[in-house]
Structure 1
Amino acid sequence: MDQQTEKKDGLKIVREFKAPKTLVFDAFASPEAFGEWWGPAGSNLSVERFDFRTGGSTHYKMEGNGHVMWGLFQYKNIQRADLLEFINSFADAEGNIITSPFPMDFPLEIFNKITLEENDGITTLTIQGHPINATPAQEETYFSIMDNMHQGFNGTFDQLDAYLAKVQG
């Protein structure tokens, strides 16, 4: 995909899991499950607040490699087992949206849409994301690190795959 197409469409990752879509969805829907797999590989995640409903939010802390980062999900639309739409942001310890902890002008808010489709016990998860309320410079930063975001999400989804395998026994 060329950079223009990537810029127009934003992030898009499609991943298959050997699990029913209700189980994949439920991995997002409880603080215990979410805490086991979300985030960069090698980080420990603790959930500070978890209100999984349209209009609710989740505030979490990630620790790894000597760094502490906070994140915030603001849920915009939840349709059990089919759809999850949320805005993801970096946050402080109180849950306020803050700038990226990395030395770059990254957007404050990223809109993410996750859809789930099941066929013969295999669930296809599609995540699409793009900046909202961002300056042109912030958008440029977002699109310039697309490869890193793909790598990060693939590591996170590897952890989801391991979690799903564990809970299915």
Structure 2
Amino acid sequence: MTSRVQQGRRTTGTDGGVTVFLIGMRINRFRALRRWLPVLTVMPRMLRELRADPAAGLLASRIVTSGPREYAVIQYWESTEKLLAYAADTGRTHRPAWAAFNRRARDGRGAVGIWHETYAVPAGAHESVYVDMPPYGLAAAHGSAPVGRQRDRAAQRLSAASSGA
């Protein structure tokens, strides 16, 4: 992925369906380091594992933070099926990390919170625009194309996506 700015107005390079997975953690008790540090450090390992195996289905991801207490990862997946297959695979990093988190959480009394949300967005139900940005979000996952006259407004992009044009 390049961080070079792409000049002008662009839109995502796909009109197909999109699977967006948001996952995050919140440190509730800073002093309980042994409860939350493993949670914080396992996500970069999972992302490296997924980047090393493009067939797993992760297309792009971005780590975001909201202060020293909250961390999240925005992920774009090839399909919901590939996301769920990765999550359930006992030979990959996620499943053992999830089991370890649950063991620690029982004794941790809420020292760390975790959350996730999955959005399976059908074709025609998403649109995007990027102005003078490097590849970001869906554009990092699927590439981007210049916004033409027929896709100048969000409503036009949604209409074109839902019609398959």
TM range (shorter): under 0.3
Higher-strand-fraction structure: 1
Structure-2-length-normalised TM-score: 0.27
Bigger fraction of residues in helix: 2
Higher-Rg structure is 2
TM-score by length of 1: 0.27
Considering Cα pairs closer than 8 Å and 6+ residues apart, tell me whether 1 or 2 has the greater RCO: 2
